[in-house]
Each structure stands twice: as structure tokens, then as C-alpha cells.
């Protein structure tokens, strides 16, 4: 799998804010599976998480595998769907397990599978992912931006508008997520999904007050 750095000079015309989704069989199958399994609300949220994460990686000049980042971003909420929710695990673990099974079935190296599993399992655990593998750090960064607006000012207005234009985020994003039956699947989780415990946030407008991950 190819690594990318902060160079955006070769971005393709189909890019969003200078970020391109890798054109590979694996990525196409991830997209198809997630689109067919999740609601449009979660699909667009997961897609935005990929873009926020990739933009963060480029801004920080991190070397990361875009396919692994895409898999982590797109699968990170799969545990909220009836197909992948279990009766005994946190939704983050259910999501990570779904990604692990998919990647293994496609012959992805175990080390890379474990990186994606960890990125998803820790995406609601503040303070830890930034010190780990770039893919792990960037999945969390993408979630934090889309749900809480963390690092909002580090994205340009052009970037924010391009991402939300490509994958719209309704003003009732929080309410729609919290009303879905699958949200109750993670019965043992001591912390709710981030989007259930923070005020409604729009990634195209400056928050009135700085959101904090501790609110989750």
C-alpha cells in the first residue's frame, strides 16, 4: 500500500480539498459495503472523517497509507448497524471487528489489519491516539473534527466547504444518530458515541465556544 505525504500538487480533478480517495479494488469494495450497510447519514459522516483525517495528515506532513485510513474511517461506526452490533461489546469494538474480518478476507497483512482495528477501537478514547501510528491518530482526528469541531480553525474555509459539499452534514446530525435503534447496541460502553454527548456542531461554521473531547 502506498504512503502519502503533505504534497498535494498532483491531486486529481476529482479530489475534494486536495484529497483523493484511492482508486483501488479494496477501496471500491469498502465503499460499496459501507454504503449498502449504513444509513446515508453514517456513510457521509464516515466519508467526512476520511477527508478531515487526510487533510490533518497532510497539514502535519505525516506519512500514512490512504487505503488504511479510508478503511478505518469508513468502518469506524459499523458497530452501530444491526448487522454488526453485538450484545456484549462496545460499538467501537464491533466496528473494529467488522473491519478486521473484511480486511483479512481480502488478504491484507496482519500488521496493517491490527493498525486499522486499533484506530477504530480507540476513536472515542481521547489523548491516546495522537501518540500512536499515524492512521490511528488520523482516524480519531477526523472523528473529533466532524463531531466536536476540534482543530476547526486549522482547516481553511475552502477545505471545510469542499468536504461538506461533497458529503453533506445535516443540522440535525446529532439527533438523527441518537434516535437510531442501533445506537443502544453498545450496552456495556461506559461512554456514549461522541455525537450523542456534544451540542450540534457544523463543520462549516466557527463554534461559539471551543468544543472539548472531555464532553463525550
pLDDT at 38 over 70: yes
Q: Give tens-digit pLDDT for 175-212.
A: 444 444 333 333 334 344 444 334 445 666 544 444 33
Report if residue 19 sits inside a domain: no
Report if residue 10 sits inside a domain: no
- DSSP string of 86-135, one letter each residue: -SSS-HHHHHHHHHHHHHHHTT--HHHHHHHHHHHHTTT-TTSGGGS-HH
Domain that holds residue 70: 25-215
Report if residue 2 sits inside a domain: no
Q: What is the mean pLDDT of residues 165-181?
A: 64
Report if residue 8 sits inside a domain: no
Report if residue 16 sits inside a domain: no
Q: Judge contact between 195 and 147, C-beta under 8 A.
A: yes
Give the pTM.
Answer: 0.79
Give the CATH number of the domain where residue 40 resides. 1.10.3210
Report if residue 30 sits inside a domain: yes
Grid coordinates of 8:
498535494
Instruction: Please give the share of the chain, as a percent, with pLDDT higher than 90.
Output: 71
Report if residue 163 sits inside a domain: yes
pLDDT at 154 over 60: yes
Query: What's the chain's average pLDDT?
Result: 82
The CA distance from 107 to 3, in Å, is 19
pLDDT at 79 over 50: yes
Q: Judge contact between 201 and 211, C-beta under 8 A.
A: yes
Report if residue 61 sits inside a domain: yes
Total domains, the chain: 1
Amino acid at each position: 500500500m502506498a504512503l502519502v505525504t503533505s504534497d498535494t500538487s498532483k491531486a486529481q480533478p476529482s479530489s475534494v480539498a486536495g484529497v483523493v480517495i484511492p482508486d483501488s479494488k479494496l477501496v471500491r469494495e469498502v465503499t460499496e459495503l459501507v454504503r449498502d450497510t449504513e444509513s446515508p447519514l453514517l456513510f457521509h459522516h464516515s466519508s467526512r472523517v476520511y477527508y478531515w483525517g487526510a487533510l490533518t495528515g497532510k497539514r502535519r506532513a505525516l506519512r500514512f497509507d490512504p487505503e488504511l485510513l479510508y478503511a478505518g474511517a469508513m468502518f469506524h461506526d459499523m458497530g452501530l448497524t444491526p448487522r454488526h452490533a453485538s450484545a456484549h461489546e462496545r460499538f467501537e469494538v464491533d466496528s473494529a471487528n467488522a473491519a478486521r474480518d473484511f480486511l483479512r478476507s481480502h488478504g491484507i497483512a496482519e500488521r496493517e489489519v491490527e493498525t486499522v482495528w486499533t484506530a477504530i477501537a480507540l476513536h472515542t478514547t481521547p489523548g491516546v491516539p495522537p501518540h500512536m501510528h499515524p492512521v490511528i491518530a488520523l482516524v480519531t482526528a477526523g472523528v473529533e473534527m466532524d463531531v466536536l469541531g476540534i482543530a476547526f480553525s486549522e482547516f481553511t474555509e475552502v477545505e471545510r466547504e469542499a468536504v461538506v459539499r461533497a458529503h453533506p452534514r445535516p443540522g440535525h446530525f446529532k439527533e438523527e444518530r441518537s434516535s437510531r435503534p442501533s445506537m443502544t447496541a453498545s450496552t456495556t460502553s461506559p461512554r456514549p458515541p461522541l455525537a450523542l454527548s456534544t451540542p450540534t456542531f457544523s463543520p462549516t461554521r466557527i463554534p461559539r465556544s471551543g468544543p472539548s473531547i472531555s464532553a463525550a
